[in-house]
Amino acid sequence: MTTDTPELTAPPAAARAGAHRVVRRRRSSHVVSKLTVNLVLLLIAACFVVPLLWVVLAAFNESATLSVTWPDPWSLGNFGAVLDEDTTFRPMLNGFILCGTATLVTIAASVLAAYPLSRYQSRYKRPFLLTILFTTGLPITAIMVPVYGMFVQVDLIDTYMGTILFMATTSLPIAIWLTKNFMDAVPIELEEAAWTDGAAPMQALRRIVLPLMWPGMSVVAIYTFIHLWGNFFVPFILLQSNDNLPASVSIFSFFSQYGQVVYGQLAAYSVIYSLPALLLYLMLSRRLGGAFAFGGAVKG
- Work out the average pLDDT over 98-115: 94
Asked if pLDDT for residue 295 goes beyond 70, the answer is no
Q: How confident is the model at residue 28 (pLDDT cuts 50, 70, 90)?
A: confident
Q: What is the DSSP string of 3-70?
A: -PPPPP-PPPHHHHHHHHHHHHHHHHHHHHHHHHHHHHHHHHHHHHHHHHHHHHHHHT-TT--SS---
Cβ(64)–Cβ(57) below 8 Å: yes
Closest CA to 226 of 287, 280, 268, 161: 280
Please state the length of the chain.
300
Q: How confident is the model at residue 54 (pLDDT cuts 50, 70, 90)?
A: very high
- Work out the average pLDDT over 148-160: 91
Q: How confident is the model at residue 133 (pLDDT cuts 50, 70, 90)?
A: confident
Residues 6+ apart with CB under 8 A from 67: none
Asked if pLDDT for residue 3 goes beyond 80, the answer is no
Q: What is the pLDDT of residue 21?
A: 78
Cβ(105)–Cβ(168) below 8 Å: yes
Closest CA to 106 of 56, 165, 148, 146: 165
Asked if pLDDT for residue 62 goes beyond 90, the answer is no
Q: What is the pLDDT of residue 8?
A: 54
pTM over 0.75: yes
What sign does the CA torsion over 107, 110, 112, 117 have?
negative
Asked if pLDDT for residue 250 goes beyond 50, the answer is yes
What is d(CA 210, CA 215) in angstroms, rounded to the nearest whole number? 10
